[in-house]
Amino acid sequence: MKKLLIVYVFLFSIFFIYLYNYHLKEPHSSPFGQNEERLQGEIGEKYVLVTFQAGIDYWKSAIKGFEDAASELNVSVEYRGATQYDSHEQITVLEQVIAKNPAGIALSAINPYELKTTINKAIEAGIPVVLFDSDAPASKAYSFLGTNNYEAGVTGAHKMAALLDHKGKIAVVTLPNQLNHKERTDGFVETIRNEYPDMEVVAIKDGKGDQLLSEQAATEIIKLYPDLKGVFATEANGGVGIADATRSLKKEKAIKIISFDTDKQTLDKIKEGVISATLAQGSWNMGYWSLQFLFQHNQETSTQQQSVQSAILPKYVDTGISIVTDENVEDYYAD
Amino acid sequence: MKKLLIVYVFLFSIFFIYLYNYHLKEPHSSPFGQNEERLQGEIGEKYVLVTFQAGIDYWKSAIKGFEDAASELNVSVEYRGATQYDSHEQITVLEQVIAKNPAGIALSAINPYELKTTINKAIEAGIPVVLFDSDAPASKAYSFLGTNNYEAGVTGAHKMAALLDHKGKIAVVTLPNQLNHKERTDGFVETIRNEYPDMEVVAIKDGKGDQLLSEQAATEIIKLYPDLKGVFATEANGGVGIADATRSLKKEKAIKIISFDTDKQTLDKIKEGVISATLAQGSWNMGYWSLQFLFQHNQETSTQQQSVQSAILPKYVDTGISIVTDENVEDYYAD
């Protein structure tokens, strides 16, 4: 009798273990026949994010977005970057990534022309590529996710107008030969010209992306226009340099500065009140939606349900701009 | 002894039923601590897609994209549309949708100004709203997903140039007073002017979105310019009307037509060879990524992991354009 008891318990256990395992492996079907599980990838599917100047803080949010999407989609990700600002190095890194035949590549192209051939090589090898932050429009990459720089300049202009009560002389410190900076400047200058008749952009100077040279440029402008009310910097080193200039000339209170991006130095200067605002790019969105796009592309090409339309990814995503001031600056340290 | 057996079996059964249910409810944790399931919604979460002129074929692809995303994310969707081309009716429909407090709304706004207040009312009630296909830029909606109409015109111009071997007189039949059509025309005309010196846009006529009026407009242009080589129509009825005109005047072979969108009549005329190409919008992308955006927004606001950046949706998605010719026309009937 005792033996029989053990046999019964054993059989019941086997049955429940079977039932338990069955439900772990199969998608749960509800009584209504609806599939209760979201489509998910395999952890073996590896997606790679490739940058340049890999060490800089600037990429942190994009990598975080890429990782957040990966954990939602249950796929693996890897981060590879050229260490220098060197297109040959980035081409080599990209070649190495292609050789491993990953499930997809999200790339920020250091140079639109020099990377084109290698990007196309990946596409021709059947590896989907999307570009983020810095585009290579002539390549065959499926999509670009980044800031609309002209619109960012427009946002900067409206914020400057609000800070200055819609009047006064202002200047821009930028990198006139780099396309994204030219677009930011154009958006800013054209908005001021067209929408704020009592404001005037009196100078546009080259700060070469360098803190000291931007400080010198700002100092020259302020000496030439002692009634200057504001300066827009199209990149972060410029903003810090201008802040140094206003401080040396004891003009911190008289001149409002709007800068770009959210590195620690810029955020610190917003807390101190020397920089009034900075424009934060949607870097998390770039990483997050890059992976969502690559994953969706692979779903489409691997399932029977594909239609022509769903097989084509959106061409461009404007990942947006938000304004950081002393009111919300703390939130951006967390990013 | 028999009683004891029953008690044992009962207790083991209870234990395994408990274990089984526990694992059904909890996300499965792998031994490596990795969450093995993709984030998924609850079938009770209802997202609503709202259009106007609800009966027309035009919305089918967007609805399909919305539904495809819903089945991947395991959420419910509902389709609501004003039956007429009437902004008051759409406002009423939107009010009814808001009253049911859905998890999110994807709206194609019939009119950017008249819908603004109702869109903002939804946002203020905590219901996320994204716009697709037709924007309301002054509203508080989080994002717009649609065609970049200027770029669509550019694509049309390059295709026309390829069809005509980069030379000859061409015309445009459009709706000059409607913004998206003006943008398509501008992209087309400016590209021809700037990039194809041996081509010339000799006429831009109003077809009023009507097949017969577009036929009349095309007939007038062809009579005025007997050496006309091509016509670009910025909407589908215009394309069909122009095709009728070339047929009546026995000019089907001499004049190439590029049209817009992929309704059955247009696709039929591509198969017959009367229309050379049409520009297909990324309507599936509009619906699919609208729901992905709304879902991601709700995930962010409901989890502890939120960062400032991830809480802000991308501002704009260019859902892309693809070219349909007799080589791929069959694929578009399936959509």
Average pLDDT over chain A reads 89
Spatial distance between the Cα atoms of B100 and B92, rounded to a whole number of angstroms:
13
Domains A46-147+283-320 and A149-281 alike in fold? yes
Measured between beta carbons, the chain B residues lying within 8 angstroms of A41 are: 38
What is the model's pLDDT at position A210? 93
**pLDDT tens figures, A198-254:** 999 999 999 999 999 999 999 999 999 999 999 999 999 999 999 999 999 999 999
What is the band of B294 on the pLDDT scale with cuts at 50, 70, 90? very high
What is the arithmetic mean of pLDDT over B295-311?
Answer: 77
What is the band of B41 on the pLDDT scale with cuts at 50, 70, 90? confident
Among A323-332, B14-23, B201-210, B216-225, which is the least confidently predicted range? B14-23
The answer on pLDDT for A11 being more than 90 is: no
Among A7-11, A58-62, A75-79, A254-258, which is the least confidently predicted range? A7-11
What is the arithmetic mean of pLDDT over B88-92?
Answer: 96
Measured between beta carbons, the chain B residues lying within 8 angstroms of A17 are: 16
- Gap from A282 CA to chain B (nearest CA, Å): 6
The answer on pLDDT for A127 being more than 90 is: yes
What is the model's pLDDT at position A311? 80
Of A39, A288, A334, which has the smallest distance from its Cβ to B72's Cβ? A39
What is the arithmetic mean of pLDDT over A281-303?
Answer: 92
B129-132/B104-107 β-pairing: parallel
What is the model's pLDDT at position B28? 39
- Tokens at A103, concatenated: 């499930």
Spatial distance between the Cα atoms of A102 and A50, rounded to a whole number of angstroms:
12
Q: Where along chain B do its domains lie?
A: 46-146+283-320, 149-281
The answer on pLDDT for B304 being more than 60 is: no
The answer to whether residues B133 and B62 touch, using CB atoms and an 8 Å cutoff, is yes
What is the model's pLDDT at position A33? 36
A-chain residue closest to B33, CA distance: A71
Q: Tell me the ipTM for this assembly.
A: 0.80
The answer on pLDDT for A68 being more than 70 is: yes
What is the model's pLDDT at position B319? 97
What is the model's pLDDT at position B177? 82
The answer on pLDDT for B139 being more than 90 is: yes
Yes or no, beta carbons of A35 and B305 under 8 Å apart: no
What is the model's pLDDT at position A29? 37
What is the band of A310 on the pLDDT scale with cuts at 50, 70, 90? confident
Q: Compute the CA torsion angle A8, A11, A15, A20 (nearest 10 deg).
A: 90
Q: Report which of residues B334 and B270 the model is more confident about.
A: B270
Spatial distance between the Cα atoms of A53 and A133, rounded to a whole number of angstroms:
13
What is the CATH code of the structural domain delimited by B149-281?
Answer: 3.40.50.2300
Give me the DSSP letters along B186-248.
Answer: HHHHHHHHHH-TTEEEEEEEE-TT-HHHHHHHHHHHHHH-TTEEEEEESSHHHHHHHHHHHHH
Q: Report which of residues B211 and B10 the model is more confident about.
A: B211
- Gap from B70 CA to chain A (nearest CA, Å): 9
The answer on pLDDT for A305 being more than 70 is: no
Task: State what percent of residues in chain B have pLDDT above 90.
Answer: 75
Q: Report which of residues B32 and A52 the model is more confident about.
A: A52
Among B13-22, B60-69, B102-111, B177-186, which is the least confidently predicted range? B13-22
Cα A98–Cα A99–Cα A102 angle in degrees, nearest 5: 55
DSSP H/E element including B107: strand B104-107
What is the model's pLDDT at position A231? 98
Measured between beta carbons, the chain A residues lying within 8 angstroms of B22 are: none
Measured between beta carbons, the chain B residues lying within 8 angstroms of A302 are: none
Beta carbons within 10 angstroms of residue B211's beta carbon: 18
The answer to whether residues A217 and A173 touch, using CB atoms and an 8 Å cutoff, is yes
- Tokens at A199, concatenated: 């404001």
Give me the phi and psi of A323, to 5 degrees please: -95, 125
**pLDDT tens figures, A95-107:** 999 999 999 999 9
- In DSSP terms, B233 is beta-bridged to B173
The answer on pLDDT for B242 being more than 90 is: yes
Yes or no, beta carbons of B315 and A310 under 8 Å apart: no
What is the band of A171 on the pLDDT scale with cuts at 50, 70, 90? very high
What CATH architecture does domain A46-147+283-320 belong to?
A: 3-Layer(aba) Sandwich (3.40)
What is the model's pLDDT at position A307? 72
Measured between beta carbons, the chain B residues lying within 8 angstroms of A62 are: none
Measured between beta carbons, the chain A residues lying within 8 angstroms of B148 are: 315-316
Who's near B313: CB < 8 A, 6+ residues apart?
A285, A320, B130, B142, B143, B293, B296, B297
- Gap from A159 CA to chain B (nearest CA, Å): 17
If you ran DSSP here, which 8-state letter would residue B320 be given? -
Query: Which fold would CATH assign to domain B46-146+283-320?
Result: Rossmann fold (3.40.50)
Of B1, B41, B282, which has the smallest distance from its Cβ to A312's Cβ? B282
The answer on pLDDT for A20 being more than 80 is: no
What is the arithmetic mean of pLDDT over B251-272?
Answer: 96
Please report, for residues A6, A11, B335, the alpha-carbon distance to residue A1 in angstroms, rounded to integers and kept in the order given: 9, 15, 67
What is the model's pLDDT at position A21? 53
Residue of A37, A284, A297, A309 to mutate, testing the B interface (most B Cβ within 10 Å of its Cβ) = A309
